[in-house]
Amino acid sequence: MKIGNYIAGQWINGNGKGKELVDASTGELVAIADAGGIDFGEMLDYGRKVGNKALRKMTFRERGLMLKKLALHLHGMKEKYYPISYKTGATRGDSWIDIEGGIGNLFANASLRRKLGDQTYYVEGEPVGLSKGGTFMGHHIMVPKTGVAIHINAFNFPIWGMLEKCAVNWLAGMPAVVKPATLTSYLTEAMVRDIIESGILPEGALQLICGSARGILDYIETGDMVTFTGSASTGQLLKSHKRLVEQSVHFNMEADSLNCAVLGADAVPGTEEFKLFIKEVRKEMTVKCGQKCTAIRRIIVPNHLVEDVQLALSAQLQKTVIGDPRTEGVRMGALAGKEQVEEVKERIAALSNEATIVYGNPDQLDIPGVNLEKGAFMSPVLMVANDPWKMDGVHEIEAFGPVSTIMGYDDLDEAIALANKGKGSLVSSITTYDNDIARDYVVNAATHHGRILVLNRDCAKESTGHGSPMPLLVHGGPGRAGGGEEMGGMRGVKHYLQRCAVQGSPSAMTAVTQQYQQGGAFKDTSIHPFRKHFEELQVGDTVITHKRTITESDIVNFANVSWDHFYAHTDVTSLEGTTFEQRVAHGYFILSAAAGLFVDAAKGPVLLNYGIDECRFVKPMYAGATIGVKLTVKEKLGQEKKDEDDIKKGIVKFLVDVYDETGETVALATILTMVKYKNQD
């Protein structure tokens, strides 16, 4: 009955007594989790030497494709995880969030490969000139950290909690050690077995501990990362570990918080927004039995609407069918275990000193056909705060279950003040159809909340809701919520990368970054770059074109063709008081004329012009001026084939430097071309 631990490339069982894990609905034994005897020092060392070494050799594109392949693999077998998830007390809908939401994180983060390039490291931001003559410059690069990412996860999302973090560290090039909460670790273990068996990840990229990992932080080293999801008190205890300070190990904390939902003053009963608000709060109280770090704990509404909200919400909660999640029609299952039930009851008792229960009874529940002695069931509990201004408990005590408290406000400033009394949360939401109310709330509450949802009738059909963090947006929050950031798209990936400022000459920086830096040495080529296939092109390859003199007729004709009759191009009598000395050539004409100079017209490896990334017109051009172009390969980005019949190709960025007869740059642009590979295998 013991579930395994995946350590140093093999499945092992602990040598201790372990902990019995039971079905949350029936109390039946599911498995025994035991991590006794595991050498955490050897485990972490294996991750650094084997997993880290393998991942950091891969490019971002290769890692991204690895995530995509893994996501497709797991999506194809997703149904096998649902019966296991039901044992945690989760309904089909709850399980969907965990299972398919987790897999969705892999898909979403895999898409970032297009932004990160095809190198093993990432070149961040823009170059910085550091000298007057242009011979000394700087740029930032980011490389994978040399250690292991240790993820200590909560019990409520055994799959999503693992995949949302691992997707990011794998893409960045770091291996992971996953420590799921013991209570529901059997579900995590089931998926990890399939991940390992797939062979998609390199060896050492993933290790698993099912059971106690007490003492693992004693072995962390510089270059490692630690992330924690769970209670604020446990997180603070871990965050104070002396080894984190001694080794300067980054610690990311995502803690349970007193998230709030605010009802705008305009959203009175009868409006679409009032209905949406009641629906959203009910959902957040009952999904996963309220066992979500993003669940609504405080319901902040106008004082004159407190009773309306109480009655409407109670009516909706009354319709919620509670029971074994395997039973058809059940909409709210069980808490994860009896221990959680007792803990939630203790928190309700503490909250009762400041709030009154207006719906539900934590000690009474009638579910036909269910053994309430063995199952971890509880009724939703709705409370109303007596005085949310004088009482701090409603802003500090979290019952991690189907429990929420209504509190009133007089004006928006009070609503913001109440929201911020939670001392930092993962998420807040405001339901209003008044965009001025929405703006004022967001701007003034953003200091205390990691994410804010503005909910109204326009976005309701497609909104993912208050409790749903998105993979490419920040998930985390200030203050009580931990101060960390999970996910967040590029921000999330950068947590696992080490930033380094590199300084040198433009030519040296071109070699380091594999992006041509202006002022760097050209690689003059006798073959026009448009005649070269993708793999034949090198960063720095340059063609210097013939020249062309701009005429008065060019300016007039371009105005007629483009219909751009801006006065500076067409009316010389209007130039007084401007920066222009005479009729000025259109910037887009200069760029078009430059294209006429640098384009190689014959059919070749270039398939199409893909667009323009940057364009600057830095000097006015008048009739009689002569222009030439230096066209340089700036950067290469390989692409994967969409299917077997697709052409193998990549995107090549060219720096277009347009200069005049004095040699001074007059326009700069980065154009993108799609270029075919010579080798189509």
DSSP per residue, 420-480: HTTS-EEEEEEE-S-HHHHHHHHHHHGGGEEEEEEE-TTTTTT---TT---TTSEEE-SGG
Pairing of strands 523-524, 541-544: parallel
Distance CA 483, CA 481 (A): 6
Element containing residue 262 per DSSP (H, E): strand 260-263
Distance CA 150, CA 379 (A): 36
DSSP state of 22: E
Structure tokens at 501: 């400022």
pLDDT of residue 645: 87
**Number of neighbouring beta carbons within 10 Å of residue 563:** 6
Using the CB atoms, write b or e for 219-247: b if 16+ within 10 Å. bbbebbbbbbbbbbebbeeebeeeebeee
The closest of 645, 499, 669 to 588, measured between CA atoms, is: 669
Residues recorded for the chain: 681
> By three-state DSSP, how is residue 513 classified?
helix
Q: Which pLDDT tens digit goes with each residue over 356-402?
A: 999 999 999 988 888 888 999 999 999 999 899 998 999 999 999 99
The closest of 115, 114, 101, 96 to 71, measured between CA atoms, is: 101
Q: Which pLDDT tens digit goes with each residue over 506-555?
A: 999 999 999 999 899 988 778 999 999 999 999 999 999 999 999 999 99
The Cα-based distances of 51 to 174, 201, 203, 228, 250 in angstroms read 7, 9, 6, 21, 19
Domain annotation for the chain: domains and CATH numbers: 40-255+492-498 (3.40.605.10), 260-469 (3.40.309.10), 522-676 (3.10.129.10)
Enumerate residues 6+ apart whose C-beta is below 8 A from 376. 24, 25, 89, 334, 335, 336, 337, 338, 340, 341
How would you write 361-416 as a 3-class SS string? CCCCCCCCCCCCCCCCCCCCEEEEECCCCCCCHHHHCCCCCCEEEEEEECCHHHHH
Q: What is the mean pLDDT of the chain?
A: 95
Catalytic residues: 254, 293
Rg (CA), the chain: 30
pLDDT of residue 681: 80
Q: Any idea of the CA torsion for 256, 258, 264, 267, to the nearest 10 degrees?
A: 70
pLDDT of residue 232: 84
- Intervals of the chain under pLDDT 70: none
Structure tokens at 337: 């275990």
Output the CA angle 393-396-402, nearest 5 degrees: 90
pLDDT of residue 154: 94
Instruction: Give the burial class of 464: count Cβ atoms within 10 A of its Cβ; 0-12 exposed, 13-18 middle, 19 or more buried.
Output: exposed
DSSP β-bridge partners for residue 499: 142
Output the CA angle 495-497-499, nearest 5 degrees: 110
pLDDT of residue 484: 87
Q: Which pLDDT tens digit goes with each residue over 463-485?
A: 999 999 999 999 999 999 999 88
216 and 179 in contact (C-beta within 8 Å)?
yes
Instruction: Give the burial class of 329: count Cβ atoms within 10 A of its Cβ; 0-12 exposed, 13-18 middle, 19 or more buried.
Output: exposed
Q: Residue 494 phi/psi, 5° resolution?
A: -65, -20
What amino acid occupies position 486?
E
